């Protein structure tokens, strides 16, 4: 476990809080591992009915730690096994997953939401998937799930142009249930989880499975994306993008004429 993922229970609800505020809750390998361990253990615990994932200090998550990506681009690392474990776990979690999003939800912070059963957002929540800006490609089956949920043109604007969208726009796009005042956000998500806990558990599990369908297609797309993502991480474009990000300058992807 890591102190950067706070884990506790509120009755039948497991709550997972990303808590690395100094880095805007950017996710490290250890944080991914802690999330996976907690989700797997709770999924096997009959006394837990649902999971709630949230951020801290007014931020959901800035996405994957850029330092990890830069190390891979420089040949000193690889797309971590715990990242892959997390994105392959999302489609097969057995119990409802509810997100409470305050502030920025970047990269995986947005794409994980398409695997959630309920999503609530604070008024200042912002969702962005700047994969192409970093020289990489979409992940967590977002290339499949986002066009399916939002429509192709809105998904393309997010995934290719990198356009961020607001909480109200996310509701209109169909991947956020409601905009909730920040002070009530976590309580709203936990209350929804507790309401689900009152349902007949077998009936809930069957209904959820029927609505979500066979995860095989999602896992297959996830694996396609991972293969492309790994290749792109070692590309000159990604190295330039990550270096420019760390150096706080605009990237230059094209040679001067």
- Is the CB of residue 54 less than 8 Å from the CB of residue 21? no
| pLDDT of res. 112 | 98
| pLDDT of res. 233 | 86
Condensed to tens digits (0 to 9), the pLDDT of residues 78-127 reads 567 899 999 999 999 999 999 999 999 999 999 999 999 999 999 999 99
Domains defined along the chain, listed by start: 5-184+200-204 (3.90.226.10)
Give the CA radius of gyration of the chain. 18
| pLDDT of res. 80 | 77
What span, in angstroms and rounded, lies between the C-alpha atoms of 152 and 146?
Answer: 8
Q: What is the DSSP letter of 121?
A: E
| pLDDT of res. 256 | 42
**Residues β-bridged to residue 9:** 14
Predicted model pTM: 0.94
Condensed to tens digits (0 to 9), the pLDDT of residues 123-164 reads 999 999 999 999 999 999 999 999 999 999 999 999 999 999
Kindly state the greatest CA–CA separation across the chain: 66
Dihedral sign of CA atoms 169, 173, 178, 183 in order: negative
- Is the CB of residue 79 less than 8 Å from the CB of residue 72? yes
| pLDDT of res. 152 | 98
What span, in angstroms and rounded, lies between the C-alpha atoms of 196 and 51?
Answer: 11
What span, in angstroms and rounded, lies between the C-alpha atoms of 209 and 45?
Answer: 18
| pLDDT of res. 72 | 63
């Amino acid at each position: 476990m890591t102190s950067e993922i706070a884990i506790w229970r509120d009755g039948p609800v497991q709550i997972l809080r990303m808590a690395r505020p100094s880095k805007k809750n950017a996710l490290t390998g250890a944080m991914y591992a802690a999330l996976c361990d907690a989700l797997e253990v709770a999924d096997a615990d009959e006394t837990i009915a649902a999971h709630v994932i949230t951020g801290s200090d007014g931020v959901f998550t800035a996405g994957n730690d850029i330092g990890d990506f830069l190390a891979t681009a420089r040949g000193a690392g690889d797309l971590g096994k715990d990242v892959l474990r997390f994105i392959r776990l999302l489609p097969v979690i057995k119990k409802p997953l509810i997100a409470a999003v305050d502030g920025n939800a970047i990269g995986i912070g947005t794409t994980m939401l398409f695997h959630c059963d309920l999503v609530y957002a604070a008024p200042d929540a912002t969702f962005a998937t700047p994969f192409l800006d970093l020289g990489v490609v979409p992940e967590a089956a977002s290339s499949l799930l986002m066009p399916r949920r939002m429509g192709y043109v809105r998904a393309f604007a997010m995934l290719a142009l990198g356009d961020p969208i607001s909480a109200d726009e996310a509701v209109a796009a169909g991947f956020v249930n409601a905009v909730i005042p920040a002070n009530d956000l976590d309580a709203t998500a936990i209350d929804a989880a507790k309401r689900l806990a009152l349902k007949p558990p077998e009936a809930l599990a069957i209904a959820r499975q029927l609505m979500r369908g066979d995860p095989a297609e999602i896992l297959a797309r996830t694996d396609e994306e991972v293969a492309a993502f790994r290749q792109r991480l070692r590309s000159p474009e990604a190295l330039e993008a990550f270096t420019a990000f760390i150096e706080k300058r605009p990237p230059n992807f094209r040679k001067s004429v």
